[in-house]
Amino acid sequence: MTGRSGRTAKVRDLDDALAVVTDGCVLAVGGLWFHNAPSAAVRALVKRGVQNLELLTAPPSSFTTDLLVGAGCVRRAYLPHVSFEHLGLAPNVRRAVEAGSVELVECDEATLLGGLMATLEGLPEHPVLSLKGTDHLHSSPLARPGRLSDGTPALVPPALRPDVALLHAQQGDRFGNIRHWGAPFCDPVLAKAARHVIVTVDEIVDNALVRAEPHRTTLPSYLVDAVVEVPFGAHPCSSHGRYPHDEEHLAGYLADCARGELATYLARWVDGPAGPAEYVAAAGGTARLDALEEVVA
Amino acid sequence: MTVPPTTAELMVVTLARELRNGEVGMTGANSTVPVAACLLAQQLHAPDFTLILPSGVVNPAPGRLYRSASDGRWLAGAEAVGSAYDLFELSENGRLDVMFYGGVQIDRHGNINLTRTGPPGGPPAFRGPGLANISFAVVCRRIMLYSATHTPRTFVDRVDYLTAPGHLDGGDARRRAGITTEGPVFCITPLAAMGFTEPDRALTVRSIHPGVTPEHVQAATGFPLPEPPPWPHTPPPTTEELTTLREVVDTTGVLRAPAATRIPSGGASR
């Protein structure tokens, strides 16, 4: 390693890094839909039995949101859109919202990002002018009516500040410089808004590689508190540029949930494997996961 | 002998014809039909059309279609990768010309419900996927609607919850709500191509697809269609359209696979 003498490494093991995610905290989860989701970290939280989370995600989310809600870890959630894309609805979110067991905060991308932008700007609120004509004006607490200084009516979502942001990227170095190979999407905003940032990466790379290509760094180390190497850590979601989502696994999850057997899924995939390596072995091993590229349409 | 177009292919070609050269368009989830339409339009009459995927990928050209809207493989050959911040900028600065929406419910004035059904207040009878990009329905110049299903459950008289504004109560209601853009101008389904006629701006049949009867379309629509038959048939794809679609856009036949003829319903858009 070419790190300067005495520089502190931010590499942690998964459970150690996740110790900051305590019951009742405001947790932001990155990625979008089936992609770049910190699935291994979410499994570890479910296994530990974290509770009463206030969950905030990228505007579109999927598997990790549904797993956290299904496992009963979430008290309140900001979810503009959650689905399994072309595979269907998010079964546990749907059930929890219909049963009223999770408090769903209606919001959309503009108001959610407005709230996050306020935090980035160090302001108590960030006006948004683009939202009109929707029933969200009456049902979303983020669509709070207010005015600009010139009197123009505006919506003023209050600042949203996650306690912890949980992200997944393709590479990072041991000091916490992160490289997204694909779409970073909301991850940089979540990282800047959160008090504490944990990033799982498929691979820890040498600091010299980061320095050779500094324009490829998507999160500089000063934004990152802990980096955890978890090969295939996004599975069954994709890690852009490394492996696609595992549609067979996701369909299996949906089938288990449709039968009311989330517990079966949790026993096999969350509580069963001793850790991420055992999980990958159970999911068919690296040979199968490397070959997903050939089979997922 | 050319294999005749599937319903999904006919929907793509018909939607592509509505897109204009120079426009900037954005797609959401469950968007195989709109994405294919944008890519096809770029190959034919709209080389200056800009396509932005919901992950922020600009002008993808992977040489095939992927089922997942944000699949990492859309990046291959794309021109840029934006972020959520760029989407925020697009909405607040009104930079979009075309947005594509599906709905759990779509009503006679093109309003979209992706949120919930059942009476207001209390837990919903049905919780939909929700919609992230509501503001795009306000700020983008034109809205194209699409639905994989055409049933009275999808096409309702009035949405139970108004997630994204179409023409609201019809007429000039959009303008009265402070919205300055055109709103929905077109709707493609497996049965018909529809538009919105003045002055009421209600959903009206423009053409019905080959093999579909007017009675079927009316029975599948949960409100009386304003202009009675006869309705013309949707012009079939030309040889150029179909060949380009199959040989350049959809080289693996996603739109010809059995799953694509019943494109998943409802959960469209972010």
Q: Which residues in chain A have Cβ-Cβ distances shorter than 8 Å to B71?
A: 34-35, 238, 244-245
| Separation CA B135–CA A131 (nearest Å) | 5
CATH number at residue B239: 3.40.1080.10
Sign of the Cα pseudo-torsion (A181, A179, A247, A295, in order): positive
Q: Which residues in chain B have Cβ-Cβ distances shorter than 8 Å to A108?
A: 131-135
Residue B198 included in any domain:
yes
Give the pLDDT band (50/70/90) at residue B1. Answer: low
Tell me the three state secondary structure of residue A215. helix
Give the pLDDT band (50/70/90) at residue B262. Answer: very low
pLDDT exceeds 50 at position B266:
no
Q: How many CB pairs under 8 A join A and B?
A: 192
pLDDT exceeds 70 at position B192:
yes
Task: Scan residues 63-82 of B and list those with Cβ closer than 8 Å to A.
Answer: 66-73, 75, 81
Q: Which residues in chain A have Cβ-Cβ distances shorter than 8 Å to B137?
A: 133-134
Q: Which residues in chain A have Cβ-Cβ distances shorter than 8 Å to B68?
A: 33-35, 85-86, 238, 244-245
Q: How many domains does chain B contain in total?
A: 1
Tell me which H or E stretch contains A262.
helix A262-265
pLDDT digits (tens, 9 = 90+) for B128-140: 999 999 999 999 9
Tokens 């190959």 locate to B43
pLDDT exceeds 90 at position B33:
yes
Residue B266 included in any domain:
no
Contacts of B40 (CB under 8 A, 6+ apart): B12, B13, B16, B241, B244, B245, B249
Q: Measuring CA to CA, which residue among B78, B128, B64, B245 is closest to residue A82?
A: B128
| pLDDT of res. B263 | 36
Q: What value does the mean pLDDT of chain B take? A: 93
**HSE toward the beta carbon, residue A121, CA cutoff 13 A:** 13
Task: Scan residues 132-161 of B and list those with Cβ closer than 8 Å to A.
Answer: 132-135, 137-139, 161
Q: How many angstroms away from the CA of B206 is the closest CA of chain A?
A: 27
Tell me the three state secondary structure of residue B155. strand
Beta strand B202-208 pairing with B192-197: antiparallel
Of B124, B179, B269, the CB nearest to A97: B124
Total length of chain B: 270
Task: Scan residues 180-219 of B and list those with Cβ closer than 8 Å to A.
Answer: none
Give the pLDDT band (50/70/90) at residue A160. Answer: very high
pTM (2 d.p.): 0.95
Residues A111/A89, Cβ–Cβ less than 8 Å = no
- Does any CB of chain A come closer than 8 Å to the CB of residue B31? no
Q: How many CB atoms lie within 10 A of CB A276?
A: 23
Q: Domain extents for chain A? A: 14-105+161-245
| pLDDT of res. A5 | 74
Residues B200/B183, Cβ–Cβ less than 8 Å = no
Question: CATH topology for A14-105+161-245?
Answer: Glutaconate Coenzyme A-transferase (3.40.1080)
Q: In terms of residue numbers, what domain contains B204?
A: 7-261
| Separation CA A54–CA A102 (nearest Å) | 10
Per DSSP, the residues of A93-160 read HHHHHHHT-SEEE---HHHHHHHHHHHHHT-SB--B----SSTHHHH-TTS-EEE-TTS-EEE-PBP-
Residue B20 included in any domain:
yes
Q: Which residues in chain B have Cβ-Cβ distances shorter than 8 Å to A241?
A: 72, 75
pLDDT exceeds 70 at position A3:
no
| HEC-encoded secondary structure of A34-48 | CECCCHHHHHHHHHH
pLDDT exceeds 70 at position A183:
yes
pLDDT digits (tens, 9 = 90+) for B73-125: 999 999 999 999 999 899 889 999 999 999 999 999 999 999 999 998 888 99
Strand partners, A229: A201
pLDDT digits (tens, 9 = 90+) for B196-250: 998 999 999 999 999 999 999 999 999 999 988 999 999 999 999 999 999 999 9
| pLDDT of res. B259 | 56
B25 or B228: which leads in pLDDT: B25
What would the two tokens of residue B58 be?
A: 């600009």
Chain B contact probe: residue of A63, A83, A87, A180 with most B CBs at under 10 A: A83
Task: Scan residues 85-104 of A and list those with Cβ closer than 8 Å to B.
Answer: 85-90, 93-94, 97-100, 104
Amino acid at B270: R
Beta strand B98-101 pairing with B142-146: parallel
| pLDDT of res. B260 | 46
- Does any CB of chain B come closer than 8 Å to the CB of residue A72? no
Q: Which residues in chain A have Cβ-Cβ distances shorter than 8 Å to B177?
A: 132-133
Say whether A128 and B135 touch across the interface (CB within 8 A). yes
What would the two tokens of residue A74 be?
A: 């979430």
Contacts of A64 (CB under 8 A, 6+ apart): A29, A31, A37, A38, A39, A42, A57, A237
DSSP state of B11: H
